[in-house]
Structure 1
Amino acid sequence: MPEAPAVPTPAALPLRLEGARLATKTLVVALGTLVLAASSWIEVPMVPVPMTMQTYAVLLVGALCGWRLALATVLAWLGEAMVGLPVLAGGAGGLAHFAGPTGGYLVSFPLAAALVGLLAERGWTKRVLPAFAVMLAGHGVIFALGVSWLATRIGLAQAIAFGLTPFLLGTVLKSALAVATLRVVPHGRRAR
């Protein structure tokens, strides 16, 4: 009977953190929240949802770190936002943003990062086309929850018109940029 192919491990990730010390993982989470905050400040003001580099950073964190560490990083960043730190679009923070028009997008970020991280652990981000598909799938999670939440506030047609359509080109570009970034990140040795 033939053996089933081995499922790739987190060693498939550019940042090999599976055996890293807790201090190293904590540092990666802290640095990840800084990258996420910086990506939030790169903004094209739009109403009711601004265009930022957040999705690029969220998905890249997943692809670099794997699902567990990506989930921890994005949740830590959202926790910073909840307590009022200026880590969201335009330097915003506070609980009101989770109940406002962008609430669905914010809630989707940890799920999208975890999905991309899980697929990256399974080797889906090692080649360009599958990696691009993974990034688009992550964006799909973000839009599904974001537009759904926005639709409860302004109706489905308006949510699609203002919360999806203007972002489609940016989604393709940010997905391609994330894949290009993965190509230049060296696959390092296992962190300690």
Structure 2
Amino acid sequence: MSFLESPVRPASSPLGLDTRSRPMQALAILAGTALLALASYISVPMIPVPVTMQTFAVTLIGALFGWRLGAATVIAWLMEAAAGLPVLSGGAGGLAPFAGPTAGYLFAFPLCAALTGWLVEKGWNGRKVLRAFLAMLAGNAACLVLGALWLAALIGPAKAIALGITPFIVGGILKSALGAATLKALARRKAA
């Protein structure tokens, strides 16, 4: 079996939320939106896009909750933001962030959670830490690319790469490593 192949197994998230009751899944969504809100407050202001722990939380939620519930959780958090709750970076909420420079990243988040969750369900999880790292990195990279596409429409492609991708590469790698370490720790705990 090659590095990229994963053994055939039923899809399941590390927390097994896909087999839990609807009320338990609803509680997981609430906990996930709270984690995302907290991650939004861990922020380093930059222009036009701040550095936050949001992508770490988005990919971790996708990895832990599975692709469907992970994406649903991120969508619920975005709906909280659109309703005006102060759950985005710097306590922002309302519709303005969905039209500004960060909009592409916000709209990319559910896709990034789904991508990471899907990869983890396919075996790119904490049992194989390099695969887990690559799953988290794929989610972070997708966020940067999709977010920068929107930013390019606002400020041009060269500036979007310079301001919307380049400053976030090292952080994305570090967040991916932290996410993979988290998945590895959970896999060890589950095995014990």
- TM-score normalised by L of structure 2: 0.92
Contact 1:135 1:175 in 2 (8 A): yes
Inter-partner Cα distance in structure 2 for 1:102 and 1:7: 38
Aligned to 2:130: 129
Contact 2:141 2:172 in 1 (8 A): no
> In the alignment, does 2:190 pair up with 1:187?
yes
Deviation at 1:72, TM superposition (A): 0.8
Contact 1:15 1:187 in 2 (8 A): no
Identify unmatched segments of 5+ residues in structure 2. 1-5
Aligned to 1:16: 16
Inter-partner Cα distance in structure 1 for 2:40 and 2:8: 35
Q: How many aligned residue pairs are there? A: 183
Aligned to 1:158: 159
1:1-192 correspondence runs (5 A):
7-11=8-12, 13-125=13-125, 126-185=127-186, 186-187=189-190
Inter-partner Cα distance in structure 1 for 2:130 and 2:178: 13
Percent identical among aligned pairs is 56
Deviation at 1:55, TM superposition (A): 0.2
* Amino acid paired to 1:116: T
Contact 1:56 1:175 in 2 (8 A): yes
Identify unmatched segments of 5+ residues in structure 1. none
Deviation at 1:47, TM superposition (A): 0.4
Deviation at 1:84, TM superposition (A): 0.7
Q: Secondary structure at the match of 2:19?
A: coil
Which segment drifts farther, 101-110 or 136-145? Answer: 136-145
Flag as ranges the 4+ runs of structure 1 deviating above 6 A. Answer: none
Deviation at 1:158, TM superposition (A): 0.6
Aligned to 2:3: none
* Amino acid paired to 1:180: A
- TM-score normalised by L of structure 1: 0.92
* Amino acid paired to 1:187: K
